[in-house]
């Protein structure tokens, strides 16, 4: 089945220099294995094509049912250098949540 | 300087150790909700209030203010705020810890002392933490082979050395604890880690050892939760923002800390917002890198060990946090001047709003090119369509209006200024149904770029002065 990530997770994003961070948190602990399986660093890099010009790193945080992504070279230089309206990557979180994933598992989503 | 700290804190602990302390978050950044710290000291019991004012480039703004007027260079908002809350904090014996001293903690202290005298307050002790600025020491450090290379790019400092505006070490909790030990009720620091403002009072009150890594780490985690104010209590909450009650009167977070290292995140009763595992989790994920190595001057916290539990309404318990020994370095934050930017906007309405905005952008770029102006970057975004999600956002078929936003960056100030003069003419010499040019010509603003590096802890020494009015 196809699901939008926003159905499975919530997120917050911020900046460190030209790197954006997106914390992706499963809405329920049993969704964590699903996001861990399908929302890989490669999938996120592909989703952010044209925005993230560097590499994507992923860190697992099973204790919070969460994944932390670092999106390198994503903020137009960052800080006061950047000409972007969203120079601090505050909306990268919602940009990730509109990612669609095709999953093998059957879920009954509210 | 701090050799005797643990033993004296221990003696203190035998005599009057509190069974818990409540540390409140008052400001999450310079420009945050001005009523929040007033609510924190008046709407319920707290022992300490921390206020974070310093983002990465804030020190350079303050440095410029100090260059114009040597009595300035701190968060000016602090003075009228302290004037408002001083009677309450004196009456309730609440301590305030803030990094709002910026590049002039002593100037900030003097201004607060003046406010205290005006109110007839006697016996107020204020501590300042100094020694974080490296601006006058760069040559000396270079002669000692302390390179201050950019810790991200590895570049040498020489490239930007003559353009440096500010250079500061991030101190941790040690000098704050020292100021509290000397009796300061208000502690004003310059560059200090945001988290230290929260966990310093735990170390001071409970006599935690400087090698009790797990307790230090849980304090750091509480600090990370408090340092952005309302972002931990339902502000900017993506899981279900509509479920957050009364954001207009949002209560900022409070860390209720116990001597054994147990910490409960909560907020005052009868305030808006909420404290849940989800609101706290979102803040924990904010601006972190490798979660197993959250580095502070006192310890390295492992965010993958944090356990959260909802133990009551608006009460979330932190447990299980593991810490590791600290490193031999302090982080250094430097800023340097790196050219100019200007940004202009125009609004285009139906019909063909996007096509017209795109055409206007092309006309503007042609005129800039005809003038022979050179920029490092010209960036065009269409607000309402793609400035947030870029190419991820699907384009709607018909739009009512769109804001054309064009920004330029370059090292030639005249070119950047001239760009600002080329925006307005588009209203009478470009596509129709255009408006939104009330703010005047965009002015060049200086780019302050950021240079992070590391310095051996042995090369700097924090200084603490406590004085009373």
pLDDT score of A80 more than 90: no
A45 touches chain B (CB under 8 A): no
Say if CB B447 and CB B455 are below 8 A apart.
no
pLDDT at B231: 98
What is the architecture, at CATH level 2, of domain A2-102?
Answer: 2-Layer Sandwich (3.30)
Give B15's pLDDT tier (boundaries 50, 70, 90).
Answer: low
Contact at CB, A80 and B447, closer than 8 angstroms: yes
Q: How many CB atoms lie within 10 A of CB B118?
A: 10
Q: What is the mean pLDDT of residues A13-33?
A: 96
Residue in B closest to A79 by C-alpha:
B449
Q: B26-66 pLDDT, tens per residue?
A: 999 999 999 999 999 999 999 999 999 998 778 888 988 99
pLDDT at B2: 47
Say if CB B275 and CB B235 are below 8 A apart.
no
User: Which residues, including other chains, have CB under 8 Å from residue B143's CB and lie 6 or more apart?
Assistant: none
Domains and CATH numbers, chain B: 5-132+170-327 (no CATH), 337-450 (3.30.70)
Q: B431-441 pLDDT, tens per residue?
A: 999 999 877 89
pLDDT score of B14 more than 70: no
Q: What is the mean pLDDT of residues B204-232?
A: 98
A88 touches chain B (CB under 8 A): no
Give B125's pLDDT tier (boundaries 50, 70, 90).
Answer: very high
Query: What does the alpha-carbon distance between residue A89 and residue A95 come to, in Å, rounded to a whole number?
Result: 10
pLDDT at A110: 65
Contact at CB, B392 and A98, closer than 8 angstroms: yes
Query: What H or E segment, with its residue span, contains residue B463?
Result: strand B463-468
Query: What does the alpha-carbon distance between residue B417 and residue B340 come to, in Å, rounded to a whole number?
Result: 9
Measured between CB atoms, which of B281, B292, B320 is closest to A66?
B281
pLDDT score of B10 more than 80: no
User: Which residues, including other chains, have CB under 8 Å from residue B202's CB and lie 6 or more apart?
Assistant: B21, B23, B208, B215, B219, B222, B257
Give B16's pLDDT tier (boundaries 50, 70, 90).
Answer: confident
Nearest to B376 by CA among B344, B418, B412, B419: B412
Phi/psi for B58 (5° steps) reads: -60, -40
pTM of the model: 0.95
pLDDT at B57: 77
User: Which residues, including other chains, have CB under 8 Å from residue B414's CB and lie 6 or more apart?
Assistant: none
pLDDT at B439: 78
Contact at CB, B383 and A84, closer than 8 angstroms: no
Query: What does the alpha-carbon distance between residue A18 and residue A75 come to, in Å, rounded to a whole number?
Result: 5
Chain A residues near residue B387 by CB distance under 8 angstroms: 84-86
* ipTM confidence: 0.98
Q: B381-422 pLDDT, tens per residue?
A: 999 999 999 999 999 999 999 999 999 999 999 999 999 999
B238 touches chain A (CB under 8 A): yes
Give B336's pLDDT tier (boundaries 50, 70, 90).
Answer: very high
The chain-wide mean pLDDT, for chain B, equals: 95
């Amino acid at each position: 089945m196809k699901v939008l990530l926003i159905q499975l997770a919530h997120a917050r994003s911020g900046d460190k220099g030209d790197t954006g961070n997106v914390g992706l948190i499963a809405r329920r602990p049993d969704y964590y294995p699903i996001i861990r399986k399908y929302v890989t660093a490669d999938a996120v890099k592909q989703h952010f094509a044209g925005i993230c010009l560097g590499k994507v790193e992923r860190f697992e945080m099973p204790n919070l049912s969460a994944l932390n992504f670092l999106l390198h070279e994503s903020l137009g230089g960052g800080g006061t250098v950047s000409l972007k309206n969203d120079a601090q990557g505050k909306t990268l979180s919602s940009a990730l949540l509109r990612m669609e994933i095709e999953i093998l598992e059957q879920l009954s989503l509210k | 300087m701090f050799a005797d700290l643990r033993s004296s804190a221990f003696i203190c602990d035998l005599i009057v150790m509190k069974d818990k302390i409540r540390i409140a978050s008052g400001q999450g950044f310079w420009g945050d909700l001005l009523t929040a710290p007033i609510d924190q000291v008046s709407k319920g019991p707290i022992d300490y209030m921390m206020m974070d004012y310093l983002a990465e480039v804030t020190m350079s703004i303050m440095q410029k203010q100090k260059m114009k007027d040597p009595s300035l260079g701190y968060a000016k908002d602090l003075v009228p705020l302290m004037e408002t809350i001083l009677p309450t904090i004196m009456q309730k014996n609440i301590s305030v810890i803030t990094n709002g001293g910026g590049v002039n903690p002593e100037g900030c202290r003097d201004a607060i002392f003046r406010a205290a005298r005006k109110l007839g307050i006697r016996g107020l002790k204020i501590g300042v933490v100094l020694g974080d600025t490296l601006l006058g020491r760069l040559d000396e450090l270079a002669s000692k082979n302390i390179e201050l290379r950019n810790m991200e790019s590895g570049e040498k400092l020489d490239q930007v050395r003559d353009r440096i505006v500010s250079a500061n070490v991030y101190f941790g909790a040690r000098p704050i604890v020292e100021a509290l030990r000397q009796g300061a009720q208000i502690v004003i620091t310059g560059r200090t880690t945001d988290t230290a403002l929260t966990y310093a009072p735990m170390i001071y009150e409970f006599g935690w050892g400087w090698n009790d890594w797990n307790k230090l780490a849980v304090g750091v985690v509480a600090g990370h939760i408090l340092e952005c104010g309302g972002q931990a209590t339902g502000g900017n909450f993506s899981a279900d923002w509509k479920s957050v009650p009364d954001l207009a009167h949002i209560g900022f977070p409070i860390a209720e800390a116990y001597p054994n290292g147990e910490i409960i995140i909560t907020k005052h009763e009868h305030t808006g917002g909420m404290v849940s595992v989800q609101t706290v989790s979102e803040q924990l994920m904010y601006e972190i890198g490798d979660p197993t190595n959250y580095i502070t001057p006192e310890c390295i916290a492992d965010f993958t060990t944090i356990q959260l539990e909802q133990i009551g309404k608006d009460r979330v318990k932190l447990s299980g946090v593991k810490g590791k020994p600290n490193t031999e370095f302090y982080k250094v934050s430097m800023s340097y001047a790196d050219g100019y930017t200007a940004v202009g906007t125009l609004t285009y309405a139906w019909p063909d709003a996007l096509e017209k905005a795109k055409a206007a952008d092309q006309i503007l770029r042609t005129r800039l090119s005809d003038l022979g102006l050179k920029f490092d970057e010209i960036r065009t975004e269409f607000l309402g369509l793609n400035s947030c999600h870029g190419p991820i956002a699907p384009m709607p078929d018909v739009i009512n209006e769109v804001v054309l936003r064009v920004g330029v960056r370059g090292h030639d100030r005249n070119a950047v200024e001239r760009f600002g003069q080329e925006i307005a003419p588009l209203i009478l010499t470009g596509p129709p149904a255009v408006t939104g040019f009330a703010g005047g010509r965009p002015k060049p603003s200086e780019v302050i770029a950021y240079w992070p590096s590391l310095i051996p802890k042995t090369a700097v020494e924090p200084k603490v002065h406590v004085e009373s009015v």
